[in-house]
Amino acid sequence: MSESSFEESLRRLEEVIWDLENRDLPLEEAISRFEEGMRIVKVCEEFLTSARLRVEQLIAEAGGGYRVEEWKTEG
């Protein structure tokens, strides 16, 4: 996957998920799409980690006084 924005990556992930859920794909193609989806998930996680760190740095530079809480995820 080439360099892209978080939004582009998320959009592609949604397409991959839709294909897996709604198309009758041959096994090899389904596995290939699943692998692509897992790579995109990793890219999205990296984007989000970077964004979180940037926000924490901006808050710290603005005078601190914040607390970091665990991000709640659906699951």
Q: What is the pLDDT of residue 1?
A: 45
More confident residue, 53 or 34: 34
Decide if pLDDT at 70 tops 80.
no
pLDDT of 24-33, one tens digit each?
999 999 999 9
pLDDT of 31-51, one tens digit each?
999 999 999 999 999 999 999
Q: What is the pTM of this model?
A: 0.73
Q: Characterize 6-18 residue by residue with b for buried, 16 or more Cβ atoms within 10 angstroms of its Cβ, and e for exposed.
A: eeebbebbeebee
